[in-house]
């Protein structure tokens, strides 16, 4: 299994509060991604990174920001959480021997915004 | 934007039966991937396909990259209870550099 951890694994927060989710990898992969998974929508890309300090938006980036100051860490921040951001968030990595096409996923963070 | 249509949405089968699911798109993909997700966990990569027409097996799983590059299918032979989960297809386009996911097929196996 790819060495990917996500923290926290579960979080309950209130509307309007800031939230930061962390993804940590031990594989030294270049690319990192944040997805959200919702019933009926499958997995949708929020933001991704193609190197340290290099990030770009995905299809559902509004209300989210990211940062990558080290190869191994990719942070997802909800500046002011809303109930519509209640979801399961997955981090993924790629760019190892399998190439950029094959993405490997972390265990997920279940976020509930009340 | 690019979309993948995955079918069926759900399946309820008897242990020992074979299963087939597929994904289609109006767009061409360079790579097709199949993932399985167990409850409370992240998707796990099962099979990766890189060439049109390619047929690849992983144990009881067989997947094919469609000739048109717009579709792929996954077969599971002789299903067992641990096959239960959600199966996702995903297509990678070198034009966008992104992975697009199907909606998933939920598989339930009755012992």
Measure in Å the smallest separation between the Cα of A88 and chain B Cα atoms. Answer: 9
DSSP code, position B52: T
pLDDT band with cut points at 50, 70 and 90 for residue A96: confident
Rounded distance, CA A48 to CA A46, Å?
A: 7
How many CB contacts within 8 angstroms connect chain A with chain B?
47
Decide if A45 and B103 are in contact by the 8 Å CB cutoff: no
Rounded distance, CA B5 to CA B18, Å?
A: 21
Q: Which 3 state secondary structure label does DSSP give B81?
A: helix
- Distance between first and last Cα of chain A: 34
Decide if B42 and A43 are in contact by the 8 Å CB cutoff: no
User: Residue B2: its pLDDT value, please?
Assistant: 64
Measure in Å the smallest separation between the Cα of B104 and chain A Cα atoms. Answer: 7
User: Residue A109: its pLDDT value, please?
Assistant: 97
Give A61 or A40, the one with higher predicted confidence. A61
Decide if B31 and A41 are in contact by the 8 Å CB cutoff: no
Decide if A59 and B1 are in contact by the 8 Å CB cutoff: yes
Q: In B3-104, which ranges are E strands? A: 4-7, 10-14, 19-25, 31-37, 44-49, 55-58, 61-65, 71-76, 85-93, 98-101
Tens digit of each residue's pLDDT (9 = 90 or more) over B27-78: 999 999 999 999 999 999 999 999 999 999 999 999 999 999 999 999 999 9
């Amino acid at each position: 299994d790819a060495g990917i951890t996500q923290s926290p694994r579960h979080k309950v927060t209130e509307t309007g509060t800031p939230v930061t989710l962390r993804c940590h990898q031990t594989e030294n992969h270049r690319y990192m991604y944040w997805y959200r998974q919702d019933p009926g929508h499958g997995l949708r890309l929020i933001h991704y990174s193609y190197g340290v300090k290099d990030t770009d938006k995905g299809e559902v980036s509004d209300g989210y920001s990211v940062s990558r100051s080290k190869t191994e860490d990719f942070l997802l921040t909800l500046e002011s959480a809303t109930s519509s951001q209640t979801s399961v968030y997955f981090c993924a990595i790629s760019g190892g021997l399998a190439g950029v096409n094959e993405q490997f996923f972390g265990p997920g963070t279940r976020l509930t915004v009340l | 934007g690019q979309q993948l249509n995955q079918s069926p949405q759900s399946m309820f089968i008897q242990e020992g039966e074979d299963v087939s699911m597929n994904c289609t798109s109006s767009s061409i993909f360079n790579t097709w991937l199949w993932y399985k997700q167990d409850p409370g966990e992240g998707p796990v990569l099962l099979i990766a396909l890189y060439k049109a027409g390619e047929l690849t097996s992983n144990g009881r799983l067989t997947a094919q990259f469609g000739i048109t590059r717009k579709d792929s299918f996954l077969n599971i032979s002789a299903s067992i209870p641990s096959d239960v989960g959600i199966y996702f297809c995903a297509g990678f386009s070198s034009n966008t550099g992104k992975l697009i996911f199907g909606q998933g097929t939920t598989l339930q196996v009755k012992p």
